[in-house]
Amino acid sequence: MLTKLIGNNTAKEVFITSSPFLLSLSNSQIPQEECRLSLEESDGFFCEYDQDWSRRKSLHYSQNEKNHVSNKRSSFFLDNWEPTIHCTFEQRLGISHGGKWACDIYKLQTNNSQIPLIYSFGSNGDFSFEESVKDILPNSEIHTFDKDLYTCPNEICTFHQAILGNGKKKGSKPLKRIINELHHHKRRIDILKVDIEGSEFDLFDDLFDSTKSTAESTNLPSSQSMPYIHQIFVEIHLPWNSGDEESLRAHNFFELFRHNNYAIFHKEANLVDCRSVFEDSRFSDETNTYYQLAVSILSSSESFTVKEVREADDILFIKGNEKLIGTFKGTLQEKHVLVNCAEIPITIYTPIDVNKDKLVIFFHGGGWVSCNCNTHQTIVNTLADATKTIWISVQYRLAPEHKYPIWLDDSCDVTRYIVENKVSYGVHQTAKIGVAGDSVGAQISASICHMVKNIDFQILVYGFFDVACRTPSHKEFSDPMYILTPALLEWFKLNAFRDAKDLTDHRVAVLLNKSFDTLPPCLFIVAELDPLRDDSYVYQKLLDKAGVKTEFLLVKGVLHDFLAFPGIYLNACTQAINAIQQFMSAL
């Protein structure tokens, strides 16, 4: 959060820095004639003895020399750009990541001859900031902007559907143009709140750009001066895959403010959207890379639609595996299997130099709601190549359009058809048939082994076997940093099942089955840092007790879903693929 220091109508840069021994001295205790300099250079917001004010500025400059101490992205927040000004009354306006800290906001009511003018960009439907401002400044004029259309509650603000930027991106408008259109060019903006998901760099580059005329950048009269903004609340966003180069961009961003006489009075991490502030020390380097990609795409909100989840997954899988797209050297065929009056798409992966003694039927994860054969294409063709075996990926119908038991019935029926017609899929009559899947695809595979005959082996990758979520790892990894949150798991279940009774049906809740002794050999592959981790431990114990041959691989330092991203998790996927090769070779 930054506040404007004007410096006696000159271009002189004036900042102050906190000094602990001065914090107990209130402005009212200092005669105004003895704080002339600070009053002049802070727009009347601060009153300090001239000597102390000079000391504050000196401390600021010495602190500023510490900036650029580290361009390492992970430590940028801790190492650089500390607040250099102290506000007597800092107050948080709004809640969650929509809330922002304001500096001595009460003075906007008492010191301001005009009605306080507030701009808020990027509300995303959250008006808690505006509500807090209105409570403190009831006569304030608040304008809220967002790319999507919302309605301000109780007429606390005026809403504008607009995209803030530099005017170069389609549909975006520079701030100066918006100010002119609202006829505010002769008014002071007391608070500018900006949360526009990465476009803040372009916005302020344009706003403070002195290399071109105002008329060129905003279509305003050339005599229009730079708007006077008293306090700026801005959230900065660094792209996940930009490396340490973005640290330099952030340095330049703050230098831009410094050059235009703004001082930082508060900084904080966004613990809602920027969950990587607190990473598990067990995260591997590959997990850190995957994590930054995932949180840049997946919603941190607890409210999302099926369409949003599916679109986000599509993007995540494409970006996560873009290095491997198109590398499969074998043949790929798309066919359909007619079951239950529905044609179920399947994709057949046949590698070069294929062995015809085995065939694997694969079921993708995605919470029974999202993902498809395309999202999991990279991992399936990678497994087909590695094992020299035909793999068939099944696109069962998804919930909520097709709730349980439809997606399980589809999977079982397609499996039965392939087992009965395996020769037509390119293998010998004596070929062994296995099922495999990741996440809920592993749950489907496990269920199939209970319900379909002549399955010779199963490969279960971080399966969701305890649909009641009672195993210890569900609690241990409930923090949002592990991505697969309790809220997300509950959302999947609400969309996938008709009612709570379905969750106790042993056909889907495989841990509730009474008999396990007829099941085929099983390989469990598990992620160490996964809420579903202990589901596999519990299921393996049931199989071991029944005399079923099992193997177990725990991959350290990785999150749920790692196997589906061989483009990122090279080392982790290699471990898993080697285990699958060895398991299948020994059959």
Q: Are 366 and 375 within 8 A, CB to CB?
A: yes
Give which of 423, 573, 404 is closest to 505, Cα–Cα: 404
**Mapping DSSP to helix (H, G, I), strand (E, B) and coil, where does residue 263 land?**
strand
User: Which H helix or E strand runs over 173?
Assistant: strand 172-173
Cβ within 8 Å of residue 398, ≥6 positions away: 366, 368, 369, 370, 372, 407
Whether pTM exceeds 0.75: no
| Low-confidence spans in the chain with pLDDT less than 70 | 1-29, 43, 59-79, 97, 110-112, 167, 210-225, 238-246, 270-279, 299-303
Side by side, the strands of the sheet bearing 550-559 are: 331-339, 342-350, 390-394, 358-363, 432-438, 457-461, 522-529, 550-559
Q: How many CB atoms within 10 Å of residue 480?
A: 18
AA letter at 428: H
Give which of 340, 334, 431, 353 is closest to 392, Cα–Cα: 334
Q: Give me the long-range contacts of 268-273 (CB less than 8 A, separation at least 24).
A: 268/101, 269/77, 270/97, 270/235, 271/97, 272/96, 272/97, 272/300, 273/97, 273/300
pLDDT tens string 156-200: 999 999 888 776 777 778 888 999 999 998 898 999 999 887 778
Backbone angles phi, psi at 313, to 5 degrees: -65, -40
* CA atoms of 269 and 280, how far apart (whole Å): 17
**Mapping DSSP to helix (H, G, I), strand (E, B) and coil, where does residue 487 land?**
helix
Q: How many CB atoms within 10 Å of residue 281?
A: 5
CA 157 to chain centre: 29
pLDDT tens string 53-111: 787 777 666 655 666 555 665 566 666 777 877 787 888 898 876 788 888 888 887 66
* CA atoms of 3 and 466, how far apart (whole Å): 52
* CA atoms of 16 and 58, how far apart (whole Å): 8
* CA atoms of 54 and 62, how far apart (whole Å): 13
Kindly list the structural domains of the chain, giving each domain's residue range(s) and its CATH number in brackets, ordered by start.
2-270 (no CATH), 298-472+517-585 (3.40.50.1820)
CA angle 151–154–155, rounded 5-degree value: 70
DSSP state, residue 510: G
Cβ within 8 Å of residue 277, ≥6 positions away: 77, 269, 271
Q: Are 379 and 416 within 8 A, CB to CB?
A: no
DSSP of 397-420: PPTTTS-TTHHHHHHHHHHHHHHH
Structure tokens at 125: 């439907």
Peptide bond into 405 cis (omega under 30): yes
* CA atoms of 321 and 298, how far apart (whole Å): 16
DSSP state, residue 455: -
